[in-house]
Amino acid sequence: MLATVTDKGQVTVPKEIREQTGIVPGSRLDFAVQADGTLRVRVLTRGADNLFGLLHRAGLPARSIEQMDQGIAAAVSVRNRPVRT
């Protein structure tokens, strides 16, 4: 599939590719030039529909809201500890 680069460096991703890869407005794309000169593009952000099950760990019980709150509080307290110099 061909696309044209505008004078502003913009490219329109063809509709078929957007539908196939789940690219929606607000999606973020990561561009990387490979050693052989080819360009790799990865979709980093997709719509909220793709978040379902993101944190599921097979065989582990689900955490309660209280457990999640405790974990967040613990992480924040570690992150906000004063640095010793």
Enumerate the domain spans of the chain.
15-79
Which phi-psi region, left, alpha or beta, contains residue 22 (left: φ > 0; alpha: ψ -120 to 50)? left
Tens digit of pLDDT at every position of the chain (85 positions): 889 999 999 999 999 999 998 888 888 899 999 999 999 999 886 556 666 666 777 888 888 899 989 999 998 888 887 777 6
pTM of the model: 0.48
